[in-house]
Chain A
Amino acid sequence: MIQLYLQTGILILMVITGVAALLVDDLLAAIILFSAFSFFAVLIYLTLGAPDVAFTEAVVGVVSTTFFIIALNGLRRRCSK
């Protein structure tokens, strides 16, 4: 039962961070929110009993965050508008 509550809470946090990453104007903030989304995805994979997928998601989350920030550095603008 406690696992159900845990998964529900993590899923709600995933929805909140995902929608916030789409709606926020600052691109750096969107990248940070996306990495938070990735972290909650790691937690939900762990609670679902798939540590292999969770490990992959954690590693890919770090790599993609780095790549997004480098690409943002080359874009020379911080705002989505």
Chain B
Amino acid sequence: MNRRFGSVVLDTAFRYLVPFILVYAVYVLIHGEDSPGGGFQAGALFGIAIVLEHLVHGDKAFLKIPGTWAVAVAGGGALFYGLIGLFCILSGGNMLQYGMLPLMQDVVERHVLGILGIEIGVTICVMATIVAIFNALTGREDLL
């Protein structure tokens, strides 16, 4: 990270913007219940950070989800969401009835943990979808 790349503007913008975008995305994800935000916005912020890193560093980017892996990760996020819903059914409740999750906490905390789980799934799905669109537009689809 000590090596200079591109121009001064790119260098400064990357070094100051991307860490704050990543931290803000985590804040939006975790704190999304009491303030504006949630899974979609956090995923879009993660996607913006990865796309910005690609735009500055090109092929030498270190925050990357290469090629067709992006689509697979997006499917993994949706699968995570679905598995939580299915897990609630297997525990004897309805689809996404978080109160039936077999955890040690009381009902309210189980609700919070279940909602946080599906928000994490949505975040992964949205982030990987944005990176997949970016890969398709810049012709990096086939790189594995």
Contacts and interface: CB of A to CB of B under 8 A. Distances in A.
Interface stretch (B38-46, B95-103, B106-114): B38-46
A62 B48 contact: yes
Interface in A25-74: 51-52, 54-56, 59-60, 62-63, 66-67, 70-71, 74
A56 B37 CA distance: 8
B47 interface: yes
* Binding site secondary structure of chain B: helix
Main secondary structure of the interface of A (DSSP, over half): helix
Interface of A: 51-52, 54-56, 59-60, 62-63, 66-67, 70-71, 74
19 contacts: A51-B36, A52-B36, A52-B37, A52-B38, A55-B36, A55-B41, A56-B41, A59-B41, A59-B44, A59-B45, A60-B44, A62-B48, A63-B51, A63-B130, A66-B51, A67-B133, A67-B134, A70-B134, A74-B138
